[in-house]
Chains A and B, each alone.
Chain A
């Protein structure tokens, strides 16, 4: 049974003010042959996480284009989500041995949901691994099924992937966030980027006064350079490396470092990392370690907008949408060349890539020395996001996919 979902509705015309009327006219033209045709999006959670956030915005926009779209959430118990979380980590490369019981739980919940979800739309889009087994219900030639994979499959646990591949290979196509994340499959694979919403609280324009208030609240000096990394306190985001890079930069420039992430109180590993970060910061008054409330989009927005340089020095990354968030705000970004970051940062065009602490520090120093180049990178980064990583572009990609699938049949 699907949950009732509260969707976030922003009319398409509001995007026209940012993107131009021609871009919205184009969406309407592409959607015209799809009017009234049915689409079913299925994932495993109604709230929390990037997929739900994107569907929450995408579905109302598709409805405005007169597509008969619905979003259903598969139901699962704690045992199911424990198994799929282990599968998820294993697909990211973590060691794991799936027991027969785990497999049984996965299959049983997929079977139960097959009995309750409609799954009869012309286009069925399955998000991530949890509902991947729903494909078993499909009757040959009845409708189009595609699988959207939001995770990095470049180095999966072999056994878990072999199990899932049997399902994935039965879809009409699979979508990945980066070519690097894809697999050798007998079905067409498409590049589908995650997206940000330029009108959401995390990305909308802010009054300068509000930004000043946020800086004052966290005792950040607006007169001096601000280096910022927004990310949860996770070793894979390398906050310690960021502090070390800042220390190198600090020898040459009077600057501050802001490390802002969600609260670590309900995340035991995050709490440990936070302690390590505070120890490394060593009470430096120019290092601001901020534990933001679980959902503080306006504060994140303000901190990004106030930054002189935004850093994303991850050691591993999914797509790293915080990079697009910063680029949308025309900020120069120095980031690691991992995961989906090189898709967003075209080195020396839309930002600067680095591969080490020293490299990160050097690129930051370069940007602080050449504000005109920093401004140009930020401007190009903004254009790159506008062309590729906005929710309207994602909608366009889906329309194109449905038209392609329909044409194929």
Chain B
């Protein structure tokens, strides 16, 4: 069995939601907010919300899309915002740019909708992140499997979803270590392909464990 030189260290994360001073009551104000809010706010309403709403696998992608749908009744805009896939981004700046482009284009195309009042205001919030080591690490695939099996939702989210920004790569902590630590490139790629938008954190974990088990049988 492969033994990694550098162990995988399991960590968990917890977020405080900080209420910002910006809010939006129209799509035009949402655009202004998107242009000026902090990076922590963009992260909160896209990456972090995907983790905290992981159990919604139909039609929930990010807070901006949900607000466009439920509070401004703009289904077409909501669809475009929901289609932005955070796996395509390794920087908040690029994600912000695309969010502004989608909302900006919509406001330009439909100026009468841009100034229409929403049912409820959108409040820009920020995530304040605190991480904590779980005191567990893995050097082998078996130890890795056991660690994943016992990980909390937040820990799993930290390693599988928010890690993309930390690594600045289009991959996650698990795949990164499987490829670099254990040399299991093919397994790493398969893990990275699990769709986090159509799976819950639990079903993502189950798929990941099945992929690991298949690799163990092969070995």
Contact = CB atoms under 8 A, between A and B. Distances in A.
Among B15, B16, B154, find the residue whose CB has the most chain A CB atoms closer than 10 A.
B16
A29 B56 CA distance: 28
Among B15, B128, B130, B155, find the residue whose CB has the most chain A CB atoms closer than 10 A.
B130
Contacts of B120: 180, 337, 342
A42 to B, nearest CB: 21
Contacts of A191: 16-19, 125
B87 to A, nearest CB: 22
Contacts of B18: 188-191
A182 B135 contact: no
A128 interface: no
A180 B150 contact: no
Contacts of B15: 400
B60 A346 contact: yes
Nearest to A26: B152
Contact residues on B (Cβ < 8 Å of other chain), bracket = 35 or more
A403 B130 contact: yes
B130 A30 contact: yes
A400 B130 contact: yes
Contact of A29 (B21, B125, B132, B200): B132
Given A349-B56, A397-B16, A180 B135 contact: no
Interface residues of A, number: 41
A23 B52 CA distance: 14
Given A184-B21, A190-B16, A383 B55 contact: yes
B183 interface: no
A179 B125 contact: yes
A383 B55 CA distance: 7
Chain A's interface: helix, strand, loop or mixed, by majority?
helix
Given A29-B12, A30-B14, A388 B52 contact: yes
B19 A176 contact: yes
A384 B55 contact: yes
Given A22-B152, A404-B128, A396 B55 contact: no
Nearest to B55: A383
B133 interface: yes
B49 to A, nearest CB: 11
Interface string B136-170: 00000000000000111111000000000000000
Contact of A30 (B59, B119, B132): B132
B41 to A, nearest CB: 12
Nearest to A353: B70
Nearest to A342: B120
A355 B135 CA distance: 49
Nearest to A32: B132
Interface in A152-211: 176, 179-180, 182, 184, 188-191
A29 B150 contact: no
A138 interface: no
Contacts of B128: 190, 400, 404
A324 to B, nearest CB: 15
Please name the 4 residue pairs, one residue from A and one from B, whose CB atoms are nearest each other, closest first.
A179-B123, A383-B55, A22-B152, A191-B17
Given A22-B151, A188-B18, 9 more contacts: A26-B14, A26-B134, A184-B21, A190-B19, A346-B66, A396-B14, A400-B14, A400-B15, A404-B128
5 contacts: A22-B152, A22-B155, A26-B155, A180-B120, A400-B16
